[in-house]
Structure 1
Amino acid sequence: MNQFNFDLNNHYHSSMRRLMVDVHTRHGDALADANPISAARYRGMAQGLERVALLVLNDSILYHACSELGDELERLHEEMMAEAEH
């Protein structure tokens, strides 16, 4: 995941950062529990955060951070599925 210049004095940035950490953590827990359905829900939440950043907040920094989060969760999911096949 890339580094983003979150402005922690900006309420939206600090709130979104907390949400992103929560989604990432819960997605990891779902993968650790071998629960792909729950993991998919958290990937969907990451996509929702991305849309909010773009369409509601109109914030390119948050949009790119959320986009990277979604990409990372997808990569982790694919990794888990590949391991399950072996």
Structure 2
Amino acid sequence: MPYLQQLAWVNTQAYADQSRDTRVAEWARFSASHPDPTAPETWVGFAVEPRRMLFWEGAEDAASRRAEYVRDAGRWLHRVLPG
């Protein structure tokens, strides 16, 4: 069974408030009684296709810099930029 589908059904505030042993037991009970659960009706899906990502790298003993990744023709191009 997909972990995220079960998580969506089981992981409520009441569930989170329980002890670990109780949560493990309830997780197993739900899994056994719902071997192939459907996705909850509230689920919405999105496909995210990043074209550019930028990461900052800092250090106390050197100047910061950034790492840029740009999607181009099915591959990622990488370059380092000043911080």
Relative contact order (alpha carbons < 8 A, sep ≥ 6): 1 or 2 greater?
Answer: 1
User: Which protein is bigger by CA-based radius of gyration?
Assistant: 2
TM over 0.5: no
Higher percent of residues as helix:
1
Higher percent of residues as strand:
2
Give the alignment's TM-score, normalised by structure 2: 0.26
Give the alignment's TM-score, normalised by structure 1: 0.25
